Structure 1
Amino acid sequence: MSDAATRAPADIGRYVNDALRDRYFAACDAVHALGAPARAEYDVETSFGTTHVYRYGPEEGTAATGRAADRTPVVLVHGAGGCAAMWYPNTPALADERTVYALETPGDANRSVHRVPLHRPEHAAQWLDEALAALALDRVHLIGTSYGGWLALNMAHRRPARLASATLLDPGGLEKVGLRFFTWIFVSLFATAAPAALRPRLGSWLDQPVLVVPELRAMVRAGVRAHRIRRPAPAPLTDDELRTIRTPLHLIVGRRSLLLHPKRQAERVPRLVPGAHAAILERTGHGPQIDHADEVNTRMLTYLDGIDDAPREGDGIPGRA
């Protein structure tokens, strides 16, 4: 039996075997190639396993390199079951302006090595804090999508000291994950096997960009075959927990999201979190950063610039609440 197939504890993500894992990694590399080139890769140790990290930024030695060094870096956290390659529509725009780190969550289908469960909220925050510490990142803009959005929100609630802001892209952690979302996931996976001529129509109907980007479709299909995720859906934060957050929050949701109720959360989050911003994007569902990448990239960079340019506590000028 291969190392990847060696029996792991029930709550540790694992690969079925080495051959399927390697095919999946090749598919991930093809998706990575659609985005900005990584300037470096790291493996950093935490209490929960080894975290694989990609670093992006302007080409070394250019004027943009100096400008990026003067801006707060960005840290990206992907959704459940995936890897950092899913950020390919966003890394070119973000990396033109800032240093960007894309973390791969242990327990998901990626190059991180999962050893200790981290699905409990306090453990998830500890893992992320340890990963940032290992990268010597004391102040970052954290951006998460779906499950990664819950990780960012949970971090803002439990360990906010390193956070300049948190951007949540159609995130988990605001509502209980319902049957309609799991049904959408199942139907979308089934649709990846549809004839090529039907996929654009299905992709539009399902708000599912996986169906219309061949490399993304191949990666998702390979990941489903290769990896077994072993993690429960996170419990949503209560109103009282949201009220504790003082990290600047930026919520972006799709009008047709099936993970949460957009209007409800676009009203709730700014009401409970001082200074939070919320936006609902038309004509999209759960993947706004993929199928509306240009708009989302512009919104994110504008928001991050506004945070960095605002007076901070200790500057002799009143800072943000």
Structure 2
Amino acid sequence: MVKLRQQCCTESTSGEQAMARSRTTKGVGSFTSEAARERFLAAYDDAMGLWSCPRQELDVETSYATTHVLRCGPDGGEPIVLLHGSGGSSTMWFPNVATLSAHHPVYAVDTPGDPGRSVQRRPIFEPEVSAAWLDEVLDGLGLTQVHLIGSSYGGWLALNQTLHSPSRIATSTLLDPGGFEKVGARFYTWLIINGLAGLLPRRLFPNLSSKLSNPVLDYPQLKRSILLGARTYRVRRPAPLPLTDEELSAVRTPTLLLIGDRSPLLHDAPSRERAQRLMPSVDAELVADTRHGPSIEHPEYVNNRILQFLKAASAGQLPRHTL
């Protein structure tokens, strides 16, 4: 059991001081230099211009990191917590936050260990430690019941939380998540191809995003922040291990699982079948014409699907949905 220290939420001011401390700590993610960090944060702020809803920026102090959180939406209602994918940040949620925050308070978390405004101080390797960190964040925000939504690595974080610390998780939505299969060569090849594509002048390849099914390439602000993060941030954590059959069977939290039917990370139909076979309360679906980013590739459909799921969960009605 990890001992948690007292939490607090403050306006975003403490990241700069924590940055200097993090550089002297082994096993934590950090930028290659202060100049690199400043360049990245300028690109991050530029990408945040894609968000279309007013927001408040908070730093939540935990035992592991100064965790940066963006909040938008009403004061009342059931809160949603967004967990982004590996190598990304909360900037990725720009197609989703306006619709979701029209119905729920929304908190987008910059995960420590990824390039963003969070600053890591202690290693976060083990699944139990990841759960302890997120518990501290939720404590600091004063949240007792939340709906987790995670994409890719963020999906693994959400799934991991429902296994190790489920008491305050009302539902979990997993968007082409880690945690069902070992990350393989197919996924890394896809990452390399898309990384190289991001370096090409858009004017020379206007249809590249549709050919690669990667709409990130259509948003220069987002693309620049991702590429800068990849070049200047040292990630210090292993790829998440897939959950065993026994572990998946132990997940009792109502779960919405959306898998791209052309996912480079998961074998779509087998992963859906495994979830349906093992998880007691899962609504699993293959999203048509989708690779690894359902929330960006088909935001309107995914937003509506999530809101329907949350409404059904609140009413105690969770029909299974498949294609």
Could you state the TM-score of these two structures normalised by the residue count of structure 1? 0.89
From 91, 98, 102, the counterpart of 1:96: 102
**Contact preservation (8 Å) 1:4, 1:16:** no
Query: Are 1:184 and 2:190 an aligned pair?
Result: yes
Query: Are 1:50 and 2:54 an aligned pair?
Result: no
Secondary structure of the corresponding residue to residue 50 of structure 2: coil
Deviation at 1:25, TM superposition (A): 1.3
**5+ long unaligned stretches in structure 1:** 58-64, 312-321
Query: Are 1:266 and 2:272 an aligned pair?
Result: yes
Name the CA distance, whole Å, in 1 between partners of 2:27 and 2:113. 9
From 278, 284, 289, the counterpart of 2:290: 284
Deviation at 1:8, TM superposition (A): 4.0
Name the CA distance, whole Å, in 2 between partners of 1:13 and 1:167. 26
Q: Aligned partner of 1:15: which letter?
A: F
Deviation at 1:171, TM superposition (A): 0.3
Q: Deviations over 1:23-67 (max 9, x none)?
A: 21122122222123343111111121111111010xxxxxxx4xx
**Contact preservation (8 Å) 1:74, 1:98:** yes
Deviation at 1:5, TM superposition (A): 10
Name the CA distance, whole Å, in 2 between partners of 1:199 and 1:102. 32
**Contact preservation (8 Å) 2:124, 2:130:** yes
Residue 297 of structure 1 is matched in structure 2 by: 303
Secondary structure of the corresponding residue to residue 275 of structure 2: helix
Q: Aligned partner of 1:247: which letter?
A: T
Name the CA distance, whole Å, in 1 between partners of 2:196 and 2:94. 24
From 105, 113, 125, the counterpart of 1:107: 113
Query: Are 1:134 and 2:150 an aligned pair?
Result: no
Residue 61 of structure 1 is matched in structure 2 by: none
Residue 122 of structure 1 is matched in structure 2 by: 128
Residue 148 of structure 1 is matched in structure 2 by: 154
Q: Aligned partner of 1:109: which letter?
A: P
Secondary structure of the corresponding residue to residue 204 of structure 1: helix
Secondary structure of the corresponding residue to residue 108 of structure 2: strand
**RMSD value, Cα:** 1.9
Secondary structure of the corresponding residue to residue 112 of structure 2: coil
Identity fraction in percent: 47
Secondary structure of the corresponding residue to residue 280 of structure 2: coil
Q: Deviations over 1:226-281 (max 9, x none)?
A: 21111110110001000011100100011110111111111111211112001111
Name the CA distance, whole Å, in 2 between partners of 1:205 and 1:41. 36
**Contact preservation (8 Å) 1:181, 1:258:** yes
Deviation at 1:10, TM superposition (A): 4.5
Query: Are 1:21 and 2:37 an aligned pair?
Result: yes
Q: Deviations over 1:73-118 (max 9, x none)?
A: 1000111122111111100100111100011111110111101111
Name the CA distance, whole Å, in 2 between partners of 1:18 and 1:5. 12
Name the CA distance, whole Å, in 1 between partners of 2:48 and 2:113. 20
Change (3 A) 1:5 1:101: closer
From 16, 21, 30, the counterpart of 2:46: 30
Task: After superposing the two structures, state which structure 1 stretch, 146-155 or 216-225, moved more.
Answer: 216-225
Change (3 A) 1:169 1:199: farther
Q: Aligned partner of 2:95: which letter?
A: P
Name the CA distance, whole Å, in 2 between partners of 1:239 and 1:93. 35
**5+ long unaligned stretches in structure 2:** 1-16, 318-323
**Contact preservation (8 Å) 2:22, 2:28:** no
- Pairs aligned (count): 301
Query: Are 1:227 and 2:233 an aligned pair?
Result: yes
Name the CA distance, whole Å, in 1 between partners of 2:22 and 2:315. 50
Deviation at 1:206, TM superposition (A): 2.1
Secondary structure of the corresponding residue to residue 189 of structure 1: helix
Name the CA distance, whole Å, in 1 between partners of 2:137 and 2:167. 14
Secondary structure of the corresponding residue to residue 59 of structure 2: strand
